[in-house]
Chains A and B, each alone.
Chain A
Amino acid sequence: MATIEKPRIAEIPDADVDPVTVDIIEGALKSARYEMDAVLFRSAMSPVIREQHDEFPMITDPHGRMVVGQFGAYINEMMEEWDSGIYPGDVILTSDPFKCSASISHTNDWLVLVPIFYEDELIGWSSQFGHQMDCGGPLPGSLPTAATTIFEEGIIIPPLKIVERGEVQQPVLDLILNNMRLPEVNRADLFAIIAGCRAGEKRVMELCDRFGKNVYLATLQKLLDRTYEAMKVLIHAAIPEQPETFEDYIDDDGLGNGPFKMKLTIWREGDHAFFDWSGTDPQSLGPINFYLSEGMFKMFIGVYLIMVNDPQILFNDGFYPLLHVVMPEGSMLRPRFPAALGCRTHALARLFDVLGGALTKQAPELNTASGYGTSPYMLYSGWDENGEFFYSMEILYGGIPGRPVGDGMDGHSWWPLFENIPTEYLESYYPLRIDGYTTVTDSGGPGFHRGGNGVEKRYVYLEPGQVSVHDDRWLTRPWAALGGLPGGRSSKLLVRADGTEEILPSKIDQVEVQPGDMLIHRTAGGGGWKDRLDRPVEVVERDVSFGLVSREFAKEGYGVVLNDDGTADLEATERERERQREKRGPVQPFDFGPPLEEVLANCRSETGLEPPVPATPLRWSPLEPGDMALERVRAGDGIPAPE
């Protein structure tokens, strides 16, 4: 047996770099990161990456700290367990969230790591992951809504070398692809991700050629320090010393259990901020757990603070030591193996809702309401008339919340850079026809800035097959802030070719469809921001003339009374607004709609669906008490409790 060599990890010199060089290298790294995206989009095959841009790049320093990118550190923890050596030309692949500190959060995400060597030293990593359309398992898409363990979610690839010193490990690749429904798509996407990483690697090496390795490395430290200092300022501005708590719900886990609470408490101790998820419900039996890496969550917080405060800052790992995240073991955010993880987009979106809600209390004018709150999917598969397997998967969008800068967009994506799939693409490759693609009138929550409308997409199936849908916010509403109203809820209606109608739950698999059946897929709207009764009358007129708001809702939601020609009756409007103001009383910081008990009690009559029932805790994964989780984090991060 050959001995395993540890790579020589480059030292980061404590050298001075002139500030302009720092800025130049910063700019070059930003370009490199966008080049990684560009390479991947252009050569990937599945529409999920290519048309919808479900992928994430990053470049790290020698210690695996992200210097530029979008997902955050994990490499160090992963490398502690690693015993296969690291050499130039290696490519590491994994899809196992439990073996990479949850840097990826379900098995569909294939994470690729490329070590960057310069003068025989490891100077960083180029890494990227992308969502595979399918990765095996019982159902196309590998996201069964009824999965109860990760073993039902396709092949689980532990961290391994898919390329060793430039040689593709063919037997390993064959083994993986042999488990796929559309192996050529997985192969193409995998090599596209690798090509993206290689582009990042190449740019980093060029920077070392140009500036010298030591200047390059010293600059990385400067960039990390710069973000650290900037974030200190933001933390002081955004995080209150007194604990603030916010909670919200995921409606159900796909197995009839729910709703599931997510609860966050934030506070500040000096320069340090705490984000404590104690009080969040235990992990679910169904696949809605969101196994959240600490680094990823810190990144989310950082990006959010930067975006609402000063979008110019380069985002990187530098500020991580300032943030302390408490996630009790056995909770939805820290589920134990072998929890099912496939449908984690609901919790991912809710996490931002809760984070935004908690921060709103400190800076109400800077934050937003909440949006459609998930990534709704539609999957359709079967065998066409020639006996060929087809499988399409699409992410839909919904109402963006009302925001300080303006209305929430109608039918747009809350996740960055995702795109919808053109109808002409769907119709030319899959046996379906889109009867309509529009937004749901009145589903945007009224506000001074209106929440966006949800989307309505009508799919007519042309071949027998099976359909899955994933959605949330069918029960609880996207909340509003500072005097707005919540957004409208989602719904799924299956209209059979003979005209009979079936209401579908928001999370369901294996619905048999026949030619001519139509699915009406409606997503939720966004909540409104600030006082809906102050919205300028002419803006409401315009919304009505655009068909985004109905005449009736203009009155009900905004107190605007319209004449027959579409212009407002100003006197009647003033009277109506006065009447509604009196009825409403003072403006509240949030509006969640009716209380949860009432929502559950009215569930059947309002939605046509049975209400979810409270979940039974799992015997094999007891919930760690909140105070113990906090102690664990304090001890680990070296931040003792204040006297």
Chain B
Amino acid sequence: MAYRLGVDVGGTFTDLFLVSDIDGRQWRVKTPSTPVNPSQGVLTGVQQICERAEIGVGDIQNILHGTTVATNAVLEEKGARVGLITTEGFKQILHLARSQTPGPLAGWVIMIKPDPPALLSDTREAVERMDARGNTVVEVDEQQVEGVVRDLVESGVESLTVGLINSYVNPKHEETIGEIVERLYPGFPVTLSAHVLPEFREYERTLTACMNSYVRPRVADYITQLQSELKHVGATADVNILRSDAGLMTLREAERNPIYGVLSGPSGGVAGGLFVARNAGFPNILTFDMGGTSTDVALCENGEPTIGRETTIGQFRIKVPSVSVHTVGAGGGSIAHVPELTRALRVGPQSAGAEPGPAAYGQGGEEPTVTDANVVLGHLPPRLLGGEMELDVEAAHTAVAKIGDAMGLSVEEAAEGILSIVNENMAGALRVVSVQRGHDPRDFALVAYGGAGPLHANALAKLMGSFPVIVPPAPGLLCAIGDLVADFRDEFAQTYIRVLAEADPGEVGSILDTLGERADGWLSNEGIEADKRRISFVADMRYHRQGYEIPVSITPDEVREHGLDELDERFNVLHEQLYGFRMPDTASEIVNLRSVGFGTVPSLELPTGEEGESDASAAVVEEHEILFEGSRVPTKIYDRNRLEPGGRIPGAAIITEFDSTTVILPGYDGVVDVNYNIVINETR
């Protein structure tokens, strides 16, 4: 009876992956996504996969789900109308933001400031004040607040946020206002900033809370719809949503704090890529997800993703724990252009998008894109195996020739130039997540997915020195695998700003205990059995008054037994590793204490084949001369579905499958491993 289903809703396809925990059997389904009502596509997929597995929908025990409903609400600016209540004197908190204008000098001349998630006309002040130590300076004026709440709700806001100064130290005033809302309008969605993000810096906390309110009604609608439709077809499964930090949360939590899932989609890809790579024996990886308009990269070390404290969505920095995914505007649809003034070759960030798309798609696009450059060079074969689409090679040539003309290059040289530039842009993104954070990219394997990732991965790995390249089968599936292998995860934090010398180890220990108990209580509420629970502890630390914190691992017992010296040393070592220096004479301080609760889920066996012979020529479908770095190289084209474990593919080679194409450069070769990954290394 134990079936688990991973569901990833992407922009084009909804991917489903079903496993039986009894005998390990697995089924996959891919159906078109239904963007207007995404639950439709999910439902279709669920029914299809159950038919294929010959089980009832009711047999599925868990549905693990990555969704972009929250992301899209932000990106498409289609969230709720949000009301905001601030401390008196701070009504313009979101309007003033951090007062920042972009660089370089005179950047303000062209800055376009986005509307914040709560408009000034929907913002009111509450009479109350808390000081920085958590003492009440002015009590909440309940009568005044009632007026403000009535005013906002009656004016038509759909969701409320309370964001008060110093609520991170003591959330009492926010809670009082939350109770007033509940009393006046029972069930009305209200987000308290200290509950979403109990950390200091009022702008970031208020913004994050308002973003939560902004996406909340849409996510709630989606969840309600999904639940009722699933129920309608007889599903009784627990549904869990993938968080931005690649942990799972319950639907109830997703309804209350949907902002935690704002990067649900990309985090599923990272989790899936990491799982596949770990299985292949590579616990240190860079993930490389290249799509049509943008590329997401992330770094995972020792089998764990890097979890950051903030993420950027649209034009806003949101402080929620997230897989540290770095995004650049470089994708298959990125447009190449040559500005008249400098005659330099630029690629992106403008994109041809889905409409009209690259010239080669033959839908009226005329601008030269990265995809067109790949077509010109033959890296993308004109007929994609298994795909319905025929590529318009001539249109691609015409488009790329525009670049050649502007720069005095042949069309092939222009195409190679476009690829070099876009690869360099993406390498810049990989540098941000690796070298800029103190990691050597040569210690990492590169896991490539997304429609265009495997096309560029070998070239990118060459730039970064990151080998092997691992190309898992069926890139869309990877996210569904990520959903399926995610652990339950939640964080519990308390701001505790103390210089170490003034911190009492006993107090630190007991705060950690309390945070640990909260994590444990939450896991038990989620129905995670005791032996599946794991709790880790972190102190966010910095040198006294420094602006950014570094997470340092810690345990309550260690603190009680050995005091805080060990913590101090660990922080100093990390600081040196990240920034190249330490400050022995400067006190270090704790800013936040956190517990992270994990509930592990049953593991997953990836599809495994028998290792066969190394000759893969049976999978060759064609052979062409293709341009690599200026010279024509005989290149075999392989059908990925015919490749068997053990098969060796010497570069130059091109491997096609339903929704992606892999390029192996001359001087490299690929080997199919037992899990059907293509593993690319330099030819020895």
Chain A residues with CB under 8 Å of B428's CB are 27-28, 31
User: B341–A230 contact, CB under 8 A?
Assistant: yes
* A418 partner residues in chain B, CB cutoff 8 A: 99-101
Q: How far is the CA of A436 from the CA of B89 in the complex (A)?
A: 4
Select from chain A the residue with minimum beta-carbon distance to B107. Answer: A416
The answer to whether the Cβ of A70 comes within 8 Å of any Cβ in the partner chain is: yes
- How many residue pairs link A and B with beta carbons under 8 A? The number is 239
Stretch at the interface among B61-69, B354-362, B539-547, B641-649: B539-547
Q: Once bound together, how far apart are the Cα atoms of A428 and B133, in whole Å?
A: 8
The answer to whether the Cβ of A377 comes within 8 Å of any Cβ in the partner chain is no
> B91 and A547: CB pair below 8 A?
yes
Nearest chain A CB to B243's CB is how many angstroms away? 26
Q: Please tell me if the beta carbons of B96 and A423 are within 8 angstroms of each other in the complex.
A: no
Q: Mark A290-311, 1 if CB is under 8 A from B, else 0.
A: 0000000001100110011011
Cβ of A569 < 8 Å from any Cβ of B?
A: no
CB pair B201 A424 closer than 8 Å:
yes
Tell me the minimal C-beta distance from A162 to chain B in angstroms.
Answer: 13
Residues of B within 8 Å of A312, CB to CB, are 339, 341-342, 346
Is B120 among interface residues, defined by CB-CB distance under 8 A? yes
Q: Does B102 contact A (CB under 8 A)?
A: yes
B410: Cβ under 8 A from any A Cβ? no
A303 to chain B: closest residue by CB: B105
Task: Report the minimal beta-carbon distance from A238 to chain B, rounded to whole angstroms.
Answer: 13
| A300 engages B105 (CB within 8 Å) | yes
B96 touches A416 (CB 8 A): no
Shortest distance between the CB of A230 and any CB in chain B (Å)? 4
Q: Is the CB of A403 within 8 A of B341?
A: no
Task: Please give the distance in Å from A47's CB to the nearest CB on chain B.
Answer: 7
Least distance between A378 CB and chain B CB atoms (Å): 14
- Given A27-B428, A405-B110: A307 in contact with B105 (beta carbons within 8 A): yes
- Given A20-B416, A303-B105, is A438 in contact with B547 using a C-beta cutoff of 8 Å? no
Selected contact of A20 from candidates B103, B421, B432, B548, CB within 8 Å: B421
Please tell me if the beta carbons of B586 and A428 are within 8 angstroms of each other in the complex: no
Contact of A424 with B583 in the complex, beta carbons under 8 Å: no
Contact between chains at A411 and B98 (CB < 8 Å): no
B549-580 interface bits toward A, Cβ cutoff 8 Å, 1 = contact, 0 = none? 00000000000000000000000000100111
Assuming the contacts A19-B409, A191-B583, A423-B90, asked whether A42 and B545 have C-beta atoms less than 8 A apart, the reply is no
Q: Which residue of B lies closest to A26 (CB)?
A: B344
- Pairwise interchain contact B436-A38, C-beta atoms closer than 8 A: yes
Q: Which residues of B lie under 8 Å from residue A28 when comparing CB positions?
A: 424, 428
B119 in contact with A546 (CB, 8 Å): yes
Q: B604 contacts the other chain (Cβ, under 8 Å)?
A: no
Given A24-B424, A411-B96, A425:B345 Cβ within 8 A = no
Please tell me if the beta carbons of B343 and A307 are within 8 angstroms of each other in the complex.
no
Complex Cα gap A600–B340 (Å): 50
Interface string of B304-345 (1 = CB under 8 A from A): 000000000000000000000000000000000001011111
Partner of B583, one of A188, A413, A416: A188
Contact of B99 among A234, A411, A438 (CB under 8 A): A411
B621 within 8 A of A: no
Give CA–CA (A198, B579) in the complex, Å: 10
**Contact assessment for A437 and B96 in the assembled complex, using a CB-CB cutoff below 8 Å:** yes
Task: Report A-chain residues with C-beta under 8 Å of the C-beta of B346.
Answer: 23, 312
A547 to B166, CA, bound (A): 25
A315 to B203, CA, bound (A): 32
Is the Cβ of A195 less than 8 Å from the Cβ of B581?
Answer: yes
- Say how far A401's CB is from chain B's closest CB, in angstroms: 9
Nearest opposing residue in chain B for A195, CB measure = B580
- Pick the residue among B107, B137, B583 that contacts A307 (CB under 8 A): B107
Contact B105–A424 (Cβ < 8 Å): no
Minimum CB–CB distance for B683 against chain A, Å: 21
Point out the residues of chain A lying under 8 angstroms from B525, CB to CB. Answer: none
Task: Closest A residue to B347 by CB, please name it.
Answer: A23
* Set B119, B168, B407: member contacting A19, Cβ < 8 A: B407
Contacts of B619-651 to chain A: CB distance below 8 A: none
Cβ contacts under 8 Å, A44 to chain B: 546-547
CB atoms of A311 and B110 under 8 A apart: yes
Q: Give the chain A neighbours of B578 by CB distance below 8 A.
A: 42
Instruction: Assess whether B106 is in contact with A308, with CB atoms less than 8 Å apart.
Output: yes
The interface bits of chain B over 193-208 (1 if a CB of A lies within 8 angstroms of the residue's CB, else 0) are 0000000111100000
Give a binary string over A37-74; 1 marks a CB under 8 Å from any B CB, 0 the rest: 01101111111001100000000000000000010000
For A19, the closest partner residue in chain B by CB is B407
User: What residue in chain A is nearest B125 (Cβ atoms)?
Assistant: A436
Interface-centre pick from A19, A184, A542 (highest chain B CB count, 10 A): A19
Inter-subunit contact A310/B102 (CB<8 Å): no
Number of chain A residues whose Cβ lies closer than 8 Å to a Cβ of chain B: 90
* A436 with B345: CB separation less than 8 A: no
- A307–B104 Cα distance when bound, in Å, is 8
Is A588 positioned at the interface, with any CB of B under 8 Å from its CB?
Answer: no
Residue contact B108 to A414, C-beta cutoff 8 Å: yes
Could you say which residues of chain A place their CB within 8 Å of the CB of B166? 424, 427
Q: Determine if B107 and A424 form an interchain contact, defined as CB atoms under 8 angstroms apart.
A: no
Q: B36 at the A/B interface (Cβ < 8 Å)?
A: no
- Asked if A313 CB lies within 8 Å of chain B CBs, one says yes
In-complex Cβ contact of B200 among A299, A311, A403, A428 (8 A): A428
A19–B416 Cα gap in the complex (Å)? Answer: 12
* A540 CB-CB contact with B under 8 Å: no
- Contacts A28-B424, A311-B110 given; indicate if A226 touches B104 (C-beta within 8 A): no
Q: Is B105 within 8 A of A412, CB to CB?
A: no
- Asked if B111 is at the interface of the complex by the 8 Å CB criterion, the answer is yes
Please tell me if B31 contacts chain A, counting CB pairs below 8 Å: no
**B-chain residues with CB within 8 Å of residue A26 when the two chains form the complex:** 344
Q: Which of A506-550 contact B (CB under 8 A)?
A: 542, 545-548
Q: Say yes or no for A406: interface residue by CB 8 A criterion.
A: yes
Max chain A CB contacts within 10 Å: which of B98, B431, B435, B575? B98
B546 x A45 contact (CB < 8 A) = yes
CB of B22 within 8 Å of the partner chain? no
B139 close to chain A: CB less than 8 A: no
In the complex, what distance in Å separates the CA atom of A211 from the CA atom of B638?
A: 34
**In the complex, B534 has a CB within 8 A of chain A:** no
Closest-CB distance, B105 to chain A (whole angstroms): 4
Which residues does chain B contribute within 8 Å of A437, judged by CB atoms? Answer: 89-90, 92-93, 96
Contact of B202 among A424, A458, A545 (CB under 8 A): A424
| Complex CA–CA separation, A28 to B429 (angstroms) | 11
B121 interface residue per 8 A CB criterion: yes
In the assembled complex, the CB of B208 is this many whole angstroms from the nearest CB of chain A, namely: 14
Nearest residue in B to A417 (C-beta to C-beta)? B103
B113 at the interface (CB under 8 A from A): yes
- A184-231 contacts to B (CB < 8 Å): 184-185, 187-188, 191-192, 194-195, 198, 226-227, 229-230
Instruction: Point out the residues of chain B lying under 8 angstroms from A439, CB to CB.
Output: 92, 95-96
Contact B341 A416 (CB under 8 A): no
Indicate if B165 sits at the interface (CB-CB under 8 A).
yes
Indicate if B88 sits at the interface (CB-CB under 8 A): yes
Question: Does A400 sit within 8 A of B, measured CB to CB?
Answer: yes
Query: For the complex, is B112 an interface residue (Cβ under 8 Å from A)?
Result: yes
**Roughly how many angstroms separate A406 CA and B579 CA in the complex, as a whole number?**
40
A435 to B421: give the CA distance in the assembly, Å. Answer: 51
- Chain A residues with CB under 8 A of B106: 303-304, 307-308, 352, 416
Residues of A within 8 A of B103 (CB): 70, 416-417
B585 on interface, CB distance cutoff 8 Å: yes
When the two chains form their complex, are residues B104 and A545 in contact, meaning their CB atoms are under 8 A apart?
no
In the complex the two chains form, is A191's CB within 8 Å of B424's CB? no
B543, A313: Cβ atoms under 8 Å? Answer: no
Question: B420 touching A24 by the CB < 8 A rule?
Answer: yes
Knowing that A50-B548, A416-B104 touch, tell me 4 more A-B residue pairs with CB under 8 angstroms.
Answer: A184-B586, A307-B106, A310-B339, A415-B105
A-B contact pairs, 21 of them (CB 8 A): A19-B343, A27-B425, A43-B579, A45-B544, A50-B548, A187-B583, A188-B583, A191-B583, A195-B581, A307-B105, A308-B106, A400-B101, A405-B109, A410-B95, A414-B101, A416-B103, A416-B104, A420-B96, A436-B90, A438-B90, A545-B120
Can you list the 9 inter-chain pairs with the closest CB atoms, starting with the nearest? A436-B89, A50-B547, A416-B103, A427-B132, A546-B120, A20-B417, A307-B106, A419-B98, A43-B579
